[in-house]
């Protein structure tokens, strides 16, 4: 057996974990889900969820990964609880499901790099989105995105993933800050800030059943939880790292990028449409593309270059997340069945490409894929993980959390009790509400 790779540096791990976390979930999804779920009310629940549920849960995945030092499926066997392997398997399936449509959106981003460079959408940003987001072109670019993802994963953890993500985090922050400041200076953006930042609690109270599951699951999705990704990444981690420190950093950076993307997209939508338009008019899945595209169009020639750079950075963020999704299954198969890394990565990517063609053909399918992931798969997978770490693995998990920290006893105990009690209840309620919700969301309207 060959020796398992480890991260070259602690920074390498943090950047890769942040690289996995920061992606289309923050830049594409968070702003539009905020827009379709009541603005600041959604942001408010999301922030609470990221901090109070997301952080304990991510630490749980770090514990399992580092302790077991193996892929997300066999991890549970190695920890001597083979029945819980089902949690790893569910995470793996959830990740594959998500990657199938994530890649479609990745394809849109590639389209927009070229569309910006040539100014293709400058005349009609909303119309352009409608025409390129579904159909043959979307399928073709979905294939390209999937192939690039598989290519990076094929190179392995250090050469591929670690290098690819080093530049991404700083550049994404710089570009988003620049765009947020620009949006602030535009006429008509002012109303957006109260919509985005000052929660309407009455709205929240009336829509609790939909805002809560979406916001909590958004936190899971965005933190790459419930998909084995953080377990897998932490399995390459040494014992001298402090899990609480690393986990907090990932949560803070990830949340900051999401908030920042909202500060770009929401004000720009207000400038163009006087509010967040409904999904068909560019307020749903198209929000990022339509709103930001208009800025580049207004900037004329300079906008062509800037737009191309912006979408290129978004592409890197999307890729660094996609590779972590594919890495989960690849590392499982490579560890377990001894197939080669490249064959495994490309084999799975090919199958997921086929599944994702549905979502690339029709955005209604994409939305449904997403809804199923949010409402059922993610909360279920996180719930089982939390039960395992809190109630089954319990005391040993505490030992693992303390490793690499000085002291840390109080923190570790508080963490365990949070996982055992309110985190568990919170995730359960999210799942319950999500399942109730999905009955109202047939795959294709009318089905
Ligand atoms: N967190 C990533 C995002 O927000 C998506 C992702 C989920 C990546 C799970 C890896 C694993 O875009």
Q: Looking at 100-114, 191-205, 318-332, which range is the least confident one?
A: 318-332
Whether the CB-CB separation of 219 and 376 falls below 8 Å is answered with no
For the cut 60, the answer to whether the pLDDT of residue 169 exceeds it is yes
Residue from 17, 18, 23 whose mutation best tests the ligand 1 pocket (most atoms within 8 A of CB): 23
Tell me the pLDDT band of 160, cut-offs 50, 70 and 90: low
Q: What is the pLDDT of residues 396-440, one digit of tens each?
A: 898 999 888 877 788 899 999 999 999 999 999 999 999 988 877
> Is residue 206 classed as helix, strand or coil in its secondary structure?
helix
Nearest to 248 by CA among 223, 231, 227, 265: 223
Q: Does the pLDDT at position 214 exceed 50?
A: yes
Mean of the per-residue pLDDT values for the chain? 90
Token pair of 173, please?
Answer: 């922050």
Residue 159 has pLDDT above 70, yes or no: no
Nearest CA to ligand 1 atom 11: 224
% of the chain at pLDDT higher than 90: 62
Which residue, 261, 48, 71, 287, is CA-closest to 175? 261
Domains of the chain by residue range: 10-440
Could you give the CA distance from residue 220 to residue 426 in angstroms, rounded to a whole number?
Answer: 12
On whether the CB atoms of residues 146 and 103 are closer than 8 A, the answer is yes
Helix (H) or strand (E) holding 244: helix 243-273
Burial category of 380 from C-beta neighbours within 10 Å (exposed 0-12, middle 13-18, buried 19 and up): buried
Residue 284, C-beta contacts closer than 8 angstroms, at least 6 positions apart:
32, 35, 36, 278, 367
Mean pLDDT value across residues 219-247:
90
- C-alpha 322 to ligand 1 mean position (Å): 7
Look-up of token digits 């994530």: 102
| Whether residue 8 has pLDDT greater than 50 | yes
Any residues with CB less than 8 A from the CB of 125 and at least 6 apart, and which?
Answer: 282, 289, 290, 293, 294, 297
pLDDT value at 166 more than 50? yes
**Mind listing the pLDDT tens digit for each residue in 67-106?**
988 888 888 888 888 889 999 999 999 999 999 999 999 9
pLDDT value for 443: 67
Higher-confidence position of 439 and 357: 357
Q: Which pLDDT band, with edges at 50, 70 and 90, does 1 fall under?
A: very low
pTM exceeding 0.75: yes
Which contacts qualify for 151-159: CB closer than 8 Å, 24 or more apart? 151/345, 152/319, 152/323, 153/323, 153/326, 153/327, 153/330, 153/341, 153/345, 154/341, 154/342, 154/345, 154/346, 155/341, 156/5, 156/341, 157/5, 157/7, 157/236, 157/327, 158/5, 158/7, 158/8, 158/12
The confidence score (pLDDT) of residue 119 equals: 93
For the chain, what percent of residues have pLDDT higher than 70? 95
**Highest averaged pLDDT of the listed ranges 100-114, 277-291, 357-371:** 100-114
pLDDT at 406: 76
**What is the 3-state composition of the chain as percent helix, strand, coil, each rounded to the nearest 5?**
80, 0, 20
What's the gap in Å between 403 CA and the centre of ligand 1?
27
Q: Using CA atoms, how far apart are residues 55 and 50, in angstroms rounded to an integer?
A: 6
Q: Which residues contact ligand 1 via a Cβ below 6 A?
A: 20-21, 23-26, 95, 221-222, 224, 227, 229, 321, 324-325
Q: How confident is the model at residue 307 (pLDDT cuts 50, 70, 90)?
A: very high
Q: How far apart are CA 124 and CA 270, in angstroms?
A: 17
Q: Which residue among 16, 17, 18, 25 has the greatest number of ligand 1 atoms within 8 angstroms of its CB, and so is best to mutate?
A: 25
Contact between residue 133 and residue 142 where contact means Cβ atoms under 8 Å apart: no
pLDDT band at 3 (very low <50, low <70, confident <90, very high): low
Q: In ligand 1, which atom is closest to the CA atom of 324?
A: 10
pLDDT value of residue 254: 93
Q: Which fold has domain 10-440?
A: Hydantoin permease (1.10.4160)
Check whether 447 has a pLDDT greater than 80. Answer: no
Instruction: Check residue 185 and give its pLDDT.
Output: 94
Distance 21 CA to ligand 1 centre (A): 5
Rounded to the nearest whole angstrom, what is the distance from the C-alpha of residue 233 to the centroid of ligand 1?
Answer: 13
Which atom of ligand 1 is found nearest the CA of 230?
11
């Amino acid at each position: 057996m060959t020796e398992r790779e480890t991260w070259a540096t602690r920074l390498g791990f943090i950047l890769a974990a942040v690289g996995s976390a920061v992606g289309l979930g923050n830049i594409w999804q968070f702003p539009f889900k905020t827009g379709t779920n009541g603005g600041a009310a959604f942001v408010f629940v999301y922030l609470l969820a990221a901090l109070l549920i997301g952080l304990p849960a991510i630490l749980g995945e770090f514990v399992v990964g580092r302790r077991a030092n193996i892929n997300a499926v066999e991890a549970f066997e190695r920890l001597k609880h083979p029945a819980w392997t089902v949690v790893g398997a569910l995470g793996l399936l959830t990740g594959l499901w998500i990657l199938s449509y994530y890649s479609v959106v990745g394809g849109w981003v590639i389209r927009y790099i070229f569309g910006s460079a040539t100014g293709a959408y400058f005349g009609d940003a909303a119309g352009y989105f409608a025409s390129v987001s579904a159909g043959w072109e979307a399928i073709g670019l979905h294939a390209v995105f999937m192939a690039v993802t598989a290519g990076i994963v094929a190179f392995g953890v250090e050469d591929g993933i670690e290098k690819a993500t080093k530049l991404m985090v700083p550049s994404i922050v710089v570009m988003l800050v620049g765009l947020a400041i620009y949006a602030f200076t535009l006429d008509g953006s002012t109303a957006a800030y109260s919509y985005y930042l000052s929660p309407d609690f009455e709205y929240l109270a009336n829509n609790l059943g939909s805002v809560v599951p979406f916001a909590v699951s958004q936190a899971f999705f965005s933190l790459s939880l419930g998909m084995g990704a953080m377990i897998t990444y932490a399995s390459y981690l040494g014992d001298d790292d402090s899990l609480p420190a690393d986990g907090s950093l990932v949560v803070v950076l990830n949340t900051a990028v999401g908030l920042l993307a909202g500060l770009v997209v929401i004000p720009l939508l207000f400038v163009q449409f006087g509010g967040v338009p409904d999904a068909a008019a560019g307020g749903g899945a198209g929000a990022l593309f339509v709103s930001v595209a208009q800025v580049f169009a207004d900037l004329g020639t300079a906008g062509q270059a800037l737009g191309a750079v912006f979408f290129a950075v978004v592409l890197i963020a999307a890729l660094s997340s996609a590779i972590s999704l594919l890495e989960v299954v690849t590392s499982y198969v490579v560890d377990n069945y001894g197939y080669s890394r490249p064959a495994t990565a490309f084999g799975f990517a090919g199958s997921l490409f086929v599944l994702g063609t549905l979502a690339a053909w029709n955005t209604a399918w994409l939305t449904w894929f997403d809804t199923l992931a949010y409402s059922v798969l993610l909360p279920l997978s996180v719930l089982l993980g939390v039960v395992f770490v809190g109630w089954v693995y319990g005391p040993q998990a505490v030992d693992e959390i303390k490793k690499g920290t000085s002291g840390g006893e109080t923190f570790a105990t508080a963490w365990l009790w949070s996982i055992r009690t309110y985190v568990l209840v919170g995730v359960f309620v999210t799942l319950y509400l999500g399942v109730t919700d999905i009955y109202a969301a047939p795959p294709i309207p009318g089905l």
